[in-house]
Amino acid sequence: MELRPLGSTGLRIAPIVFGGNVFGWTADESRSFELLDAFVDAGFNAIDTADVYSRWVAGHAGGESETIIGRWLKARPSRHDRVLVFTKCGADMGEGRKGLSARWIEQAAEASLKRLQVDTIDLYQSHWPDPATPHEETLRAFERLVQSGKVRAIGCSNFDAAQVRAALDAARAHGLPRYATLQPEYNLVERAKFEGPLRDVAVAEGIGVITYYSLASGFLTGKYRSKDDLGRSPRGRGIAKYLDARGLRILDALDAVAQRHGARPGEVALAWLLAQPGVTAPIASATSLEQLQGLVRAAKLSLTAQDVRELDAASADRAEARPGNPA
């Protein structure tokens, strides 16, 4: 499988990054191991997680996903060197453990390294902006992690264009490591958050982009077509907002393109992302081997220019209604 350079990190990744938020949530440890084995055996090589996954589940404290990945890496030493692990810090872990202060980043990194059972995190990302902490402080903390060999490259997630630009300016002004990657929400139903100023700065600065919610929490797979379908997944409530005329129009366009290619709607939605300017790879999850095979097919699917135009036209309204890059 062809690997793509991830910005200026020096890392090269396959066209799909596995979203590790499902590990310990909708995929138990045994299923997670099975999925990770199949993912790597298919030629993929990057897993994205975060310290906060999956704190939103009753009885969880965060760290569940990293812990499962760490156990898998320890149990699969032959696969360890073939896998890049991306994780994040800064989200609310409870009891004041959040943000991008130097003190918290140091603690969070050590905890993630322990859970992941690795010596080095390949990509360590600021999960959310922290207006209470100067960019210089955050980047100096990351610099120490890089210099100590605990982190290879750094990135940011959920930053808007102005925040990315300010962080880059701080890095230049103080001779600090810069964010080499960006993780924005981006998919066929949520286009305006990335398209415009945020994409412009990513392209201009050579920042690698890995998109999250790439399938809009599963909506773009086509399995949610009415309110009656929302109970089929723990994510159902978050999908209800897409069940409007525009959302159904997007599903119709996905169906039409999928039929031409002998593919499935979700595979087409991921292929559309791979065809977008500035995007390195989408992050996508799977909870079954059948879904994982869909990721394999999506990575190999090449859309025509006409396919892309049809999908752009079907999904254009919301992007046009909200131009620019809201925070």
Q: What is the pLDDT of residue 81?
A: 85
Q: What is the pLDDT of residue 264?
A: 98
Residue 31 belongs to some domain of the structure: yes
Share of the chain above pLDDT 70, in %: 94
The contacts of residue 176 (CB under 8 Å, 6+ apart) are: 136, 139, 140, 142, 143, 170
Q: What is the pLDDT of residue 322?
A: 39
In the structure, what pLDDT confidence band is assigned to residue 321 with cuts at 50, 70 and 90? Answer: very low
In the structure, what pLDDT confidence band is assigned to residue 232 with cuts at 50, 70 and 90? Answer: low
List the beta strands (DSSP E) in the chain: 4-5, 12-13, 17-19, 46-48, 84-89, 121-126, 151-157, 181-183, 208-211, 281-284
On the question of pLDDT at 293 being above 70, the answer is yes
Residue 204 belongs to some domain of the structure: yes
What's the pLDDT tens digit per position in 42-59?
A: 999 999 999 999 999 999
Residue 246 belongs to some domain of the structure: yes
Maximum Cα–Cα distance for the chain, whole Å?
55
Residue 326 belongs to some domain of the structure: no
On the question of pLDDT at 233 being above 70, the answer is no
Residue 127 belongs to some domain of the structure: yes
Residue 110 belongs to some domain of the structure: yes
Residue 132 belongs to some domain of the structure: yes
Burial class (CB in 10 A: 0-12, 13-18, 19+), 131: exposed
Q: What is the pLDDT of residue 325?
A: 32
CATH number of the domain that residue 175 is part of = 3.20.20.100
The contacts of residue 25 (CB under 8 Å, 6+ apart) are: 53, 54, 57, 60, 64, 65, 234
Q: What is the mean pLDDT of residues 184-195?
A: 97
In the structure, what pLDDT confidence band is assigned to residue 234 with cuts at 50, 70 and 90? Answer: low
* Span of 71-75, 80-84, 89-93, 148-152 with lowest mean pLDDT: 80-84
In the structure, what pLDDT confidence band is assigned to residue 14 with cuts at 50, 70 and 90? Answer: very high
Number of domains in the chain: 1
- Structural domain including 219 reads 4-321
Question: Distance (Å, rounded) from C-alpha 267 to C-alpha 246?
Answer: 20
Q: What is the pLDDT of residue 230?
A: 73
Q: What is the mean pLDDT of residues 20-41?
A: 97
Residue 181 phi/psi, 5° resolution? -135, 160
Residue 231 vs residue 217, higher pLDDT: 217
Q: What is the pLDDT of residue 327?
A: 29
Q: What is the pLDDT of residue 323?
A: 36
* Span of 135-149, 214-228, 246-260 with lowest mean pLDDT: 214-228
Q: What is the pLDDT of residue 138?
A: 98
21 within 8 A of 65, measured Cβ to Cβ: yes
Residue 179 phi/psi, 5° resolution? -65, 125
118 within 8 A of 81, measured Cβ to Cβ: no
In the structure, what pLDDT confidence band is assigned to residue 309 with cuts at 50, 70 and 90? Answer: very high
What's the pLDDT tens digit per position in 84-142?
A: 999 999 999 999 999 999 999 999 999 999 999 999 999 999 999 999 999 999 999 99
Q: Is 27 helix (H, G, I), strand (E, B) or coil?
A: strand
Active site residues: 53
Token pair listed for 7: 């910005």
On the question of pLDDT at 275 being above 50, the answer is yes
Stated pTM of the model: 0.94
In the structure, what pLDDT confidence band is assigned to residue 214 with cuts at 50, 70 and 90? Answer: very high
Residue 205 belongs to some domain of the structure: yes
